[in-house]
Amino acid sequence: MNRVMATLRLMRAGWVLAREGVIAGLPAQGLAGPAATAHGIASALARRRSEKLDSAERMSRAIARLGPSYAKLGQFLATRPDVIGLDLALDLAHLQDRMDSFPMEESIRRIEDSLGKPVSKLFVELGKPVAAASIAQVHPAKVRDDDGTIRDVAVKVIRPGVRQRFARDLDTFFLFAELQEKHMPASRRLRPVAIAETLAQSTKIEMDLRLEAAALSELHENTKDDPGFRVPKVDWQRTGRDVLTLDWVDGIKMSDIDKLREAGHDLNRLADTVVQSFLRHAMRDGFFHADMHPGNLFVDPKGDIVAVDLGIAGRIGLKERRFLAEILYGFIKRDFRRVAHVHFEAGYVPSHQDVEAFAQAIRAIGEPIHGQPAETISMANLLTLLFEVTDIFEMQTRPELLLLQKTMVVVEGNARALNPHFNMWKASEPVVGDWITRNLGPGAILSDAKTGIESLGRLARSLPELADRTERLSLEVEEMATSGMKLAPTTVEAIGKAEARESRSGRVALWIIALAALWIAWHVS
């Protein structure tokens, strides 16, 4: 029954996407057979008015009809440009996740159920919602601290019934992923079912506001001394599974360029800060805000950038950070063979591929960069070419790197909106250069040597225990060789029961065969 309902919901989603012109707006090049036919039918079904809209507007209309689960699906797919293409990923990344607000009574009920106290005991004042999205809405509020100080806070409250709605729609997403994997062999490299599983897991995390609070708290701690960037502090006493309370942010959204200019902010400095902050978090901390579209960034009266809404966060390990630094360094120095070798050393490209051919493909990407003025180089175009190359050479998708790359493109877009002549390389150099010096220079070698010595020390301390385990294992193997394997009584009993069942099944099968033979012999005679 669930499968039937999921199929019906999938058919409805396809109809809505076709009618709103979303499918017609997707590229048809390279499609053949049923896929090309389906694209043609969907294009014929599109409303005429959709032809006047751009792809982001079409997607917004479709998502408004399909509901909050699809808004979240769109945001998630924006983190996977390898799956849907970079252009569509950027359109989805800039979608405004706006929904109708739900009644105050529901918010109060959610807050009290989650925190176990009356709203009057938690807040001096709780205002009407000022923003509503697919998963939650935000209320302004005032709280009184222990010293009597009253301060402004933002209270995020989970939308009623959203978990049940997402659970239902996830069945539809899984069905589509299974069909895609079964009938579109070219998509198997991208592992659609695994992507659906990742979506299911990330949605569960995002719907527990305690986990978002933990991510915000970590980013707040990491950035507390960073120049020009901050994250609001979490109020843990007023935060639970369905409620998240943060310091209120007074500022102008980064998307409102005219207001920023009128307020006297230095737009060029803000462009540098947003890029440098992102790179600092990713390369220094290995933990970054992965949804840095301008609607989630504010500029406060002091000119600092304040990041909110950490529903999507990214992590990369030291290995990945070193990989990215060497890739960047190789492009800057035009050492394309080194860039290729780094891909193979990291295991990102299958070993049976030709490293020289891969280096040649990397050169085709890197050489044009050096013939352009730095301010005209687009990270978006660079990443598009990289995705095409990785596809040719069967490079397995790396979700954590793709998330980093997609966020970098969005951040670059923010910077260029603030400063049309923004120089990505010049802005990045102080952060990336410092990281390379610290982590790939002589100091890094000494640090690695120190880490290696510490690891050897831990191994040396555990050698007596390892030797004892090895001796016991050797004695057990020797005893099995001379006396045979000994089984526990419960294991012997379980094997006996299984044998008995097998024996009974065998006898039943023989009787059936015998009776069938008699029946055949009787009718033949």
Which residues participate in catalysis according to the annotation? 291
With both helix axes pointing from N to C terminus, report the angle between 399-418 and 86-93 in degrees, rounded to the nearest 10: 70
What's the rounded Cα separation, in Å, for the pair 137 and 129?
Answer: 6
DSSP helix/strand/coil, 494: helix
Strands 305-307 and 229-230: parallel
User: Counting beta carbons within 10 angstroms of the beta carbon of residue 107, is it exposed (0 to 12), middle (13 to 18) or buried (19 or more)?
Assistant: buried
What's the rounded Cα separation, in Å, for the pair 33 and 74?
Answer: 27
For residue 62, the tally of other CB atoms under 10 A from its CB is 21
What's the rounded Cα separation, in Å, for the pair 119 and 107?
Answer: 10
Beta bridge partners of 143: 151
Beta bridge partners of 299: 252, 305
Indicate the helix (H) or strand (E) that contains 322. helix 318-333
**DSSP code for 360:** H
Indicate the helix (H) or strand (E) that contains 307. strand 305-307
How many alpha carbons fall within 13 Å on the CB side of residue 15? Answer: 7
Which residue type sits at 19?
R
Indicate the helix (H) or strand (E) that contains 279. helix 267-279
Contact 88, 109 (CB under 8 A): no
Distant-in-sequence, close-in-space partners of 73: CB < 8 Å, separation ≥ 6: 169, 173, 199
What's the rounded Cα separation, in Å, for the pair 177 and 169?
Answer: 13
Which pair of tokens denotes residue 209? 């506001």
Q: In terms of residues, how long is the chain?
A: 525
Distant-in-sequence, close-in-space partners of 112: CB < 8 Å, separation ≥ 6: 118, 119
What's the rounded Cα separation, in Å, for the pair 201 and 205?
Answer: 6
